[in-house]
Structures are given as structure tokens and as C-alpha cells.
Chain A
Amino acid sequence: MIALLPRLRRFARGLTGSEEEADDLVQAACERAIQRIGQWQPGTRLDSWMFRIMQNLWIDAIRVGKLRGSHLSLVDPEGQKAPGMDGEQATMNRLTLEAVRRGVQRLPPDQRSVLLLVCVEGCSYKETAETLGIPVGTVMSRLSRARLALNRMVGGSETSILAAKGGEA
């Protein structure tokens, strides 16, 4: 579980868009998982199980209005420059990635979690379906809606996308 913490934090950050809320969510998920460790089947993937717990806690929190469900912190932690990149390009990349994060935060929660599991956590459609307890067909439809919406949100200026891609360290 400790080895999983960085990935749990990444998933939580993608869901909530805020460092503070994300770490609160990770903490709540770990506590819930420890309470219910007996329900985890050894031999199955601990990460999928933890993601599922986290997703459920997050949805619950949104429902009861504890979380707004969508916002971004103003301070961008992505301040670093890739080596050999001039300042203008670094800024461009940062802005592009910021736009992507903001775009992800604008997605409906259901689409956001599918998108993060597939595109960021590298889960297969089947794993994602099992983690979230939904059919594979639902994964596919939510994912395609999310991806096309993101294409529209950030794909308007292709040059910025290509600049960011070229700047990958």
C-alpha cells in the first residue's frame, strides 16, 4: 500500500484537481482500505481495489457537497523547465498542460475517472470496468466522450500541442 501511494496521489489529484483535497482523499481511502483489508482478495490487484475505494469516496463526497467536484489550484506545481528548452517554449508547454488539466476538471466526474484510469494509470478497458464496477461498453462510451471533449477544448490550437510534444524531456 505504501508503494502505491504515489499512484494513489496522482489519481486523486486528477480527480479533485487540488493537492490538499487529493491528499485528504488518499488518506481517507487508505483508512477505508485498512479497515476493510479483509475484503481484499490476495492475488487480485491491490491498486485496482484502492482506486475503486477512492473513486467511491470521491463520488460520495461530491454528492454530499463536500467537494465542488471541479476546480484547479492557481499555483501550478509544473514549474520546471525541461533541459535545453528555451523559456518561451517552457511557458507554452506549461500553459498547454495547465489547459489540459483544466479541461479534465471540466469533464463530468464519471468521464473523468475513466479517462484518468485509462490514459494516466495505463489500465486496460477491462481493468477499468472492473475497478469502477461498470460494463466495458460504458467505459468505451464515457472515454470517447471525454477524449473528444478534450480534443475540442485543447485541440483548437494544434501548434501548442505540437510544441509541448516536442518539449517532452
Chain B
Amino acid sequence: MKQLDASTLVAYVDGELDSESATFVETLLAEDADASRTLRLLHESAFLIRAAHNHVIHETVPEHLVDTVMMAVETETRPADSIVPQHLVNMILDAPEGEEIMVEPAAGFSGLAEAKGPGISMARRRSIAAMASAAAFAAVMLGGGFLLGQYRINDSGQTAGSPQVNVVAAMDNPWREAAFQEALETKASDIAVIWTNPETGYAGAIIPVKTYRREDGTFCRAFRTVETKTGPQQPNFGVACREQGPQGLWVKTVEAVAEVGTVPKLSF
């Protein structure tokens, strides 16, 4: 190892050298048996170091850690049934094929009005949320009739489709996206906006669960999603932030699969 210093050799093993340096190292290696042996050991130890630590990735994450992420910002205890109201889920599941579930659009209530303070101070206020909750549930109707919020769906639906994605799944995107924007813009935490696509028969709900404001003033909201047709690895939890400006759209910044007992598991 007279001509090759250890850092260079390690960087070579890790693929961090440009092609010129790598070629130079290979030339030297051809003449240096000691360095070649070190190189082989480095390759093997890199493999072993990873193998020795990798089993952790396959372990089940302790529930208290998931809860920490989900609940750490809560300053109050959340009733167990308030995250996804079971009767909303049932309503989606029970809706006949092609039937519309209608949710009144804004109801004059803005979830954002609650958010205040720096950092991640909690926005939810139970009494307001409970009142708005009752109003929203009363407005949910099953069956035919006119759709109060339809203009919103058509408005934002046109941009949501994407030609590359699965055609059937993409058919739900305008409905999903319209509900997503509506829920985050106008609903208090724990108030669901339900969407149904009469053409595919699929339905889902978007439920904001927390609101906070970043230090730059941007509003962000954590949300959950429930859908009647979903794979096990589909994201059911995320965080979206509102773009600046009066027409700001909500843009997802984080999406994840939350393995927590409070999310109803739907199997189809």
C-alpha cells in the first residue's frame, strides 16, 4: 500500500471515484498484491457491515414509535373514534355501485381559521370541531339528486389526470383530488370529505387530522385517506402544505403507509 492511500482505495470500493481516478487505481492494483488483498477485504467487510445491521429493517416497528409520530404534537387526548368516524367508512362501503354520496362543500367553515402560533402548535379545538362535525354529517346524503359541490369537482378535476398511470385508477383522480383540495382548504380536523366516482363505483374519504404552521407562515396539514379499493401498500397518511397566494393549492409533501390500529383496514 505504498502507492495507494487507504482513503482512495475505500472511495474506489464505494464507487466514489471518477472514471479517470478509478482507472488509475485499477492500474496500480494490478501490480500491488497487498493492495489487492486489502481491496478484497474491503469489499467483503462492506457486505458484512450491511448484513450485520440489516435485520432491523425487517422487524416490526414498535407501536409506541408509530404513536410518537402520529400523536407527539397532540396536547390533548384524542378519543379513539374521532380519527376516522366508522359510520363514514360504513357509508362508503354500503353505497351501491354507481350511487353518489354527496357532501355539502364548504359550510362556511374554514379549518385554517383555527391555526395560529409558531411552529407546530395544535390547531384543533374540540368544541368547534364537534359542531362542524355534526353539521357536515347532517349534510351527507345518500341517493340521487343534485350535487351541491359539483362545480368544484369539475373545476379542479381537469388537471388531475395523467396519461401514463393506470387508466382505471386515473379515472378516480379528479374526484380524489377535488375532495383532497376541499378537505384541506375548508374542513376542520377530523371532518371527512367523501368522494365517489359514479363511473368506477369507487369511493374514498380525505380526513384532515392536524393543522400547523411552519415558521415561514405556510400552513400544513396532516391528513388520512380511506378508500373502498386500495392495496396494502397504498399511502393512507400524509402531510400537505398550502402554496402561497390566495389561490394556493395544497401540495403533498409526505405520503406514507401508517400501520396503526386507528385506521380501519378495508379489504376487497
Contacts and interface: CB of A to CB of B under 8 A. Distances in A.
Interface in B125-171: none
B49 A120 contact: yes
Contacts of A60: none
B38 A2 contact: no
B3 interface: no
A2 B256 contact: yes
Contacts of B118: 38
A154 B45 contact: yes
Nearest to B51: A97
A36 B45 CA distance: 37
A34 B73 contact: yes
Contacts of B56: 6, 9-10, 13, 22
B68 A141 contact: no
A164 B65 CA distance: 33
A100 B45 contact: yes
A59 to B, nearest CB: 19
Contacts of B91: none
A149 B32 CA distance: 21
Interface in A57-111: 77-78, 96-98, 100-101, 104
Interface string B33-74: 000001001101111111111111111011011101110110
Nearest to A152: B41
Given A38-B120, A42-B241, A147-B42, A154 B69 contact: no
Contacts of A168: 47, 51
Contacts of A151: 38, 41-42, 45
Chain A interface SS verdict (over half): helix
Contact of B61 (A5, A35, A145, A150): A5
Contacts of A10: 53-54, 56-57
Given A119-B50, A120-B49, A144 B10 contact: yes
B97 interface: no
B68 A100 contact: no
Interface in B199-229: 212-216, 220
B45 A147 contact: yes
B61 to A, nearest CB: 5
25 contacts: A1-B254, A2-B256, A2-B258, A3-B257, A9-B57, A9-B61, A10-B54, A23-B65, A27-B65, A27-B68, A30-B65, A34-B69, A38-B119, A104-B53, A115-B49, A119-B49, A119-B50, A125-B11, A143-B10, A145-B6, A147-B42, A148-B6, A151-B42, A155-B44, A168-B47
Interface of A: 1-3, 5-7, 9-10, 13-14, 22-23, 26-27, 30-31, 34-39, 42, 46, 77-78, 96-98, 100-101, 104, 115-116, 118-120, 124-125, 140-141, 143-145, 147-148, 150-151, 154-155, 158, 161-162, 164-165, 168
Given A125-B11, A144-B10, 7 more contacts: A10-B56, A34-B120, A78-B55, A100-B48, A118-B14, A119-B46, A165-B47
Interface of B: 5-7, 9-11, 14, 16, 38, 41-42, 44-59, 61-62, 64-66, 68-70, 72-73, 118-120, 212-216, 220, 237, 241, 253-254, 256-259
